[in-house]
Amino acid sequence: MSMSGRGSSLSPDPGSRVSSDSGATRASLLQRARMRDESAWCELVELYSPMILGWCRKCRASVDVTADCVQEVFASVSRSLADFHFSGTPGAFRGWLWIIVRNKLRDLVRREARHARSEGGSSALVKLAEIIDPNSIPDEEPSDADALRSLNQRGLLQIRDSFEPQTWRAFTRCVVDGLPTDMVAQELNTTSASVRQSRSRVLRRLRQQLGDAT
């Protein structure tokens, strides 16, 4: 998982409010969303809406189709989230979400074309020419490195308050800043084992937040 970038905005704020590390063992985001936890749904929408918008842009969907797609995708997720099974595979939830987005996009584009044809006239012909071919929407998830990095950053910001400053500092210095474990341990006046444990805790919690772990 690449989260490079010295001086990242993910560096801890000493004045921020944090809770104990026990928060890292709470129910995952998707488990809470399945229980209709309102805050979990807000986090899920905040986490994945930008990615869905990015997918729609990559597929060259119109503004109207994109707006409808985001709304319909989350409605579908709400109905079918119980059908998603954790596999432990990185990106499994994201891949499942893309299938929903892809199918919704294709349906919406076909609907847009039918509506344009029903209107008739020269303006309808112009609009039809601008509508993408639903078959051009790829089967494979069209995420690039920047989109994945942004997703990880949003997830990290959401879980940040689950950790004590020392734990978060150890993680960011190792994973975000890319420093060796021994150097971070010396900087924080702790052991290398403690730094590795901190890194593992945060990464585990991030996987839970992204829907890739229970």
DSSP one-letter string for 129-179:
HHSPPGGGS-SS----HHHHHHHHHHHHHHHGGGS-HHHHHHHIIIIIS--
**pLDDT for 11:** 35
**pLDDT tens digits for 41-61?**
999 999 999 999 999 999 999
- Residues of the domain holding 124: 26-142
Kindly state whether residue 155 falls inside one of the protein's structural domains.
Answer: yes
Residue 209 backbone phi and psi in degrees, to 5: -65, -35
**pLDDT tens digits for 53-112?**
999 999 999 999 999 999 999 999 999 999 998 887 889 999 999 999 999 999 998 988
What predicted TM-score, i.e. pTM, was given to this entire model? 0.81
Q: Are residues 119 and 157 in the same domain?
A: no
Kindly state whether residue 170 falls inside one of the protein's structural domains.
Answer: yes
Q: Are residues 95 and 158 in the same domain?
A: no
Q: Is the pLDDT of residue 8 over 90?
A: no
Per the structure, the count of domains in the chain is 2
Q: Is the pLDDT of residue 115 over 80?
A: no
